[in-house]
Amino acid sequence: MLTKNKKIRNTLFLAALLLLVAGIVYQQTVDNRAFEPGDKQPAGHSLPGGKVTDDADTVVAQKSTTLSGAVDIAPESPVPDLKDAGARQGYHSRFGPLPESLKGTQPPAGLLVDEEGNIVPTPLMVDLFDYFLTIVGEESLDTVAERVLEHMARHLQEPALGQAVEIFNNYLMMKQAIIDASEQMKLNARDSGRTLSYTEILRNSQEIRLAHLGQVVYDAFYGEQDKMDNYVVRRIEIARSDHLTDEEKRDLLEQAERDLPETARRRRAENRARQDLDQQIKDAREKGATEDEIFQIRAAVIGADKAERHRLADEKRFAWNERVARYRKEREAILNSGAYSPADLQTAIRELRAHHFSERERVRIKVIDRIKDSSRPQ
């Protein structure tokens, strides 16, 4: 019975959204935003041949795509940066200005259309939906949903408009389903006396997203994010395994990393290279390497220019550490001398700091003193 009621509620909600869009489109017609054949094409509508529209949020791809395909923009028709383009457009709504939390901002670009007029779902569409949904609480969900529908109706034509409305409806129901399922999972876990794992929560969210959005939209919205999330889960599973050797764990981690998006793989490779270089330098210094030798080690990995910047930073750090060491030694002598009253002792310390450090540096050295003093044996 509950399932039947939920289906009826969802159907009524979608019908209400479609009726609302029809009203918004009609209102735009009354406001003279429509045009007749032979009239000049107004800004904000897609042009024949797949050109870029004047809308801040809509781009029409030059080459035909399906919903599951990537949009291929032809080089002869350069596409402006969507977010920059959006910033050039003022936000106007029959529901009034945006609430205080979004004051001074613009809705992000998030509506992509292929040359056949079909909506192309991307993660930018999620950003657009979430931009408006952040103000739920300042405004009712109904008003926020109407803002989204008005925004899409202003920038899209059919069939893209109807497709976008359906996606938005499914997105809202998905959000609510995740909240409901999360609360139920917490109740079940509490009743059974156990703690929910990160993996359980993640898998539950993934299943609900897929069920509500369908495979095509799900992959477009969350495909890259899923790769990162699945990698984190895999790392946790490998680290917790008691049946794998260290070598087997390394091999499995490398295998899991190969499934990451290219940008994430490159970033992790850069981090590893930096860590390896730091370890090489540490080992070289422990063996008595000169600064020229350290420079050569760095230059072989990151190039001479970056190696030189690191060398200069090292010099500054070494000089600072030497000054701190001299100051700390003199301060220790003052503290252990027994020749000062409490008031005179504080004055002597202040004068010592002023002798060794600038006003800005003295702020830093006070913090260093507190940290080192807290670790001194009592």
pLDDT in the model for residue 377: 63
Cα-flanking dihedrals φ and ψ of residue 73, to 5°?
-90, 125
For residue 121, the SS3 value is coil
pLDDT in the model for residue 376: 67
From first to last of the 378 residues of the chain, give the pLDDT tens digit. Answer: 444 444 444 544 554 554 454 444 444 433 433 333 334 333 333 333 333 333 434 444 433 333 333 333 233 333 333 333 233 357 888 998 889 999 888 898 889 998 899 999 999 999 999 999 999 999 999 999 999 999 999 999 999 999 999 999 999 999 999 999 989 988 988 888 888 888 888 888 999 999 999 999 999 999 888 888 888 888 888 888 888 888 888 878 777 777 777 777 777 777 778 888 888 898 888 888 888 889 999 898 889 998 999 999 999 999 999 999 999 999 999 999 888 898 899 999 999 999 999 999 999 999 999 988 887 665
For residue 228, the SS3 value is helix
**171 close to 222: Cβ distance less than 8 angstroms:** no
| Cα angle for residues 122, 124, 126 (degrees, 5° grid) | 90
pTM of the model: 0.53
pLDDT in the model for residue 378: 58
pLDDT in the model for residue 323: 94
DSSP 35-93: --TTSPPPTTSPPTTTPPPS-SSEEE-SS---TTSPP---TTSPPPPHHHHHHTS----
Nearest residue to 80 (alpha-carbon basis) of 99, 53, 98: 53
Q: Which residues are within 8 A (CB) of 109 and not within 5 positions of it... i.e. 6 or more apart?
A: 56, 57, 59, 82, 83, 85, 86, 124, 128
Which 8-state DSSP code applies to residue 99? P
Nearest residue to 198 (alpha-carbon basis) of 238, 233, 156: 233
pLDDT in the model for residue 17: 52
Q: How far apart are CA 278 and CA 270, in angstroms?
A: 12
b/e burial code for range 39-65 (CB count within 10 A of at least 16 → b)? eeeeebbbeeebebbebbbbbbbbeeb
